[in-house]
Amino acid sequence: MTKGHVTMKVNGKPVEALVEPRTLLIHFLREQLSLTGPHIGCDTSHCGACTVDLDGKSVKSCTMFAVQADGADILTIEGVAAADGTLHALQEGFREMHGLQCGFCTPGMILRAQRLLQENPAPSEEEIRMGISGNICRCTGYQNIVKAIQYAAAKINGVPFQEAAQ
Ligand code: FES
Ligand code: FES
């Protein structure tokens, strides 16, 4: 099969590669770029485990071909922490609020939450739940994921985080 030439920016670094037209973006990221943070939970665009940020939008990377990402600017979980290893407020929030158990959904959840907070820096609980509704978590029951995102929003906005009463 003839391979297509793609160039893109991934986690701030320029990437150039040859890909088969049938290669999904998630497989390109995981297998050709060895970025295994984005996970494959379903392959049918339901679970959100493969979510990455692409040109300022949350994208389920199992829903597009790698060649369609030619020229794109992509962020995966590997690019979320600062270069010196300092965790992003969301990563810290998930750790502090126990927003994960097995962690399978977490990379996609964090990427989705990051875009959500960029679009709406102070979301209500309902807006958070709606915002992550395309990402499935089979472990946590979501309560601590919501808290983790609220923690991050407070930290980013420089206001104290107050855990809501159960
Ligand atoms: S693997 Fe992409 S949505 Fe489930
Ligand atoms: S922490 Fe296990 S699926 Fe979300």
Complete DSSP assignment for 2-64: PPEEEEEEETTEEEEEEE-TT-BHHHIIIIIS---SS--S-SSS-S-TTEEEETTEEEETTSS
Query: Which helix (H) or strand (E) covers residue 145, if one does?
Result: helix 143-157
pLDDT at 62: 97
User: Is residue 89 within 8 Å of 113, Cβ to Cβ?
Assistant: no
Give the pLDDT means over successive 10-residue stretches in the chain (166 positions). Answer: 94 98 98 98 94 98 98 98 97 98 98 98 97 98 98 96 75
Are 136 and 46 a contacting pair, CB within 8 Å?
yes
Ligand having the closest approach to the CA of 109: 2
- Cα–Cα distance between 5 and 51 in angstroms, integer? 23
Residue 138 CA, closest ligand 2 atom number:
3
Show the ligand 2 pocket: residues with CB < 6 angstroms: 100-105, 137-140
Q: pTM (2 decimals)?
A: 0.95
Q: Specify the DSSP class assigned to residue 121.
A: S
Identify the CA nearest to 148 among candidates 104, 108, 93: 93
Ligand sitting nearest the alpha carbon of 48? 1
Structure confidence at residue 166 (pLDDT): 59
∠81-24-54 over CA atoms, to 5°?
40
Distance 99 CA to ligand 2 centre (A): 9
